[in-house]
Structure 1
Amino acid sequence: MFALRLKAALIAAGYQPRPSVLEREFNLRYWGAPVTFQGVRRWLRGDSIPSQDKLQVLAGWLGVEPQVLRYGDQSLQVRGPMQATWVIPVGGEEDEILRIYRGLDEAQRKILRQVVLTFARANDLQPEDAGEVP
């Protein structure tokens, strides 16, 4: 059922429910180790469900509650409405940087991401499970 909810959320957000689209768009938004084509394909086939940190990124990007992606609409009826606490408002310089970043081609975004991760590691800001910088 998770795969059906993920596909519906992708379509509702204006994306094709294809592994290549999901891999590219997810990795642009996730600051941990990039997910693979095979990994997101398993999400779309219903073979696996992403970890909670990845689920929160998916939910924030697609504009749905994380528990709705994981459990369906019934979870809201049981727990009541939830405030989207993972959304961080951006403005000013951050907004400018994000706008420029989104305008870069995929190769340039990957390079920039690696530069940012390198700075983060140098300042002890990177989660332990983020993987290596090539």
Structure 2
Amino acid sequence: MHTEQDKADFSQRLQTALKLAGLDTLSGANLANRFNLRHPNQPVSTQAFHHWLTGRSIPTADKIDTLAKWLDTSPEWLRHGRMALDCGSVSADELLLLSYFRALPPEKRRALIVLLHQSG
């Protein structure tokens, strides 16, 4: 069972991914329709998509996979907030940067992600 914090965290990651993809200004109905065009299984309602955005529910694994492909992110990050890293190839500077990033409050993390995405 998902905790309320799990749902809230997923919602924040989904909102960040939508913002990075330039889709954050679309309506819930538009987002649900765009999702359904990509999802091979049963479509979702506007209400279901709204529940994902507001932290009331977390989609099933197949829906997270579709979201991740659509939003150009990993399913693991979208679901759990973690990225699979090959630690053998991560430099000391990258690990230091990660430690600084983890120390930031969530709103500053999101702002930094958006800033870095726009710079790339």
Do the two structures share a fold, i.e. TM-score over 0.5?
Answer: yes
For residues 82-127 of structure 1, give each alpha carbon's deviation from its aligned partner in whole angstroms, at most 9, with x where no partner exists. Answer: xxxxxxxxxxxxxxxxxxxxxxxxxxxxxxxxxxxxxxxxxxxxxx
Higher RCO (C-alpha under 8 Å, 6+ residues apart) = 2
CA distance in structure 1 between the partners assigned to 2:10 and 2:30 by the alignment: 18
CA contact (8 A) 1:15 1:21 kept: no
1:9 equivalenced with 2:17 (yes/no): yes
CA distance in structure 2 between the partners assigned to 1:8 and 1:24 by the alignment: 19
* Runs of at least 5 residues in structure 1 that lack an aligned partner in the other structure: 82-134
Letter in 2 for 1:20: A
Root-mean-square deviation (CA, aligned residues, Å) is 1.4
CA distance in structure 1 between the partners assigned to 2:57 and 2:30 by the alignment: 18
CA distance in structure 1 between the partners assigned to 2:10 and 2:31 by the alignment: 15
For residues 26-74 of structure 1, give each alpha carbon's deviation from its aligned partner in whole angstroms, at most 9, with x where no partner exists. Answer: 00101111100111010001111110000000000000000101111xx
Other-structure match for 1:80: 85
CA distance in structure 2 between the partners assigned to 1:24 and 1:8 by the alignment: 19
Higher-helix-fraction structure: 2
Calculate percent identity across the aligned residue pairs: 40
Q: Secondary structure at the match of 1:28?
A: helix
1:59 equivalenced with 2:68 (yes/no): yes
After the TM superposition, which residues 104-119 of structure 1 pair with which residues of structure 2 at under 5 Å, given as runs?
none
Query: How many pairs does the alignment contain?
Result: 77
Structure 1 residue ranges (4+ consecutive) displaced by more than 3 angstroms after TM superposition: none
1:69 equivalenced with 2:78 (yes/no): yes
Measure how far apart 1:24 and its partner are.
1.1
* Runs of at least 5 residues in structure 2 that lack an aligned partner in the other structure: 1-8, 87-120
CA distance in structure 2 between the partners assigned to 1:9 and 1:52 by the alignment: 17
Structure 1 length as normaliser, TM-score? 0.54
Letter in 2 for 1:2: F
Letter in 2 for 1:80: L
1:45 equivalenced with 2:50 (yes/no): no
